[in-house]
Amino acid sequence: MMIKYNLICECGKTFESWFSSSDDHDVQRKKKLINCIYCDSTSVRKSVMAPNLFSKTNKTSKDTNIEKKIKKQLVELRRYIENNCKNVGDNFPSEARSIHYDKKISKGIYGKATPKETAELLEEGIDVATIPWPNKSEN
């Protein structure tokens, strides 16, 4: 578990920092290990606030449900693309250019492209999208 505190320096600036516990903050402060990110002073104290706790186990069920819905929708999107488009694999950039410049009619293609290739296609005015590709078994 981690605790995020708002800290305030003697110079009046505030900033955030994470600690493994309240005791960890206190030990670091006493040893003057906490420095202001603006002036490097070690005269730093906790600001009045409600601490923000972070833990892997404190996910709400709402967050989990949203994640499940998103994964399900991505799996459905993958199935739709696979059923309605042609997989051109690593030839995606050249196939996309061929369709765009030769004005070919296509039912749609999908495949692989590097980030650089994707950027080049977009610069050429070719509409492409990078879509998360979940495993089919994730649903």
Domain boundary assignment for the chain: 2-56, 61-138
Q: Is this structure's pTM higher than 0.75?
A: no
**What percent of the chain clears pLDDT 70, i.e. is strictly above it?**
85
The CA angle 93-96-100, to the nearest 5 degrees, is 140
DSSP per-residue codes, 26-63: HHHHHTT----TTT--S-EEEPSS--EEE-GGG--HHH
Residue 32 main-chain phi, psi, to 5 deg: 60, 45
Segment 38-53 shows an average pLDDT of 77
Least confident interval from 12-16, 53-57, 63-67, 110-114: 53-57
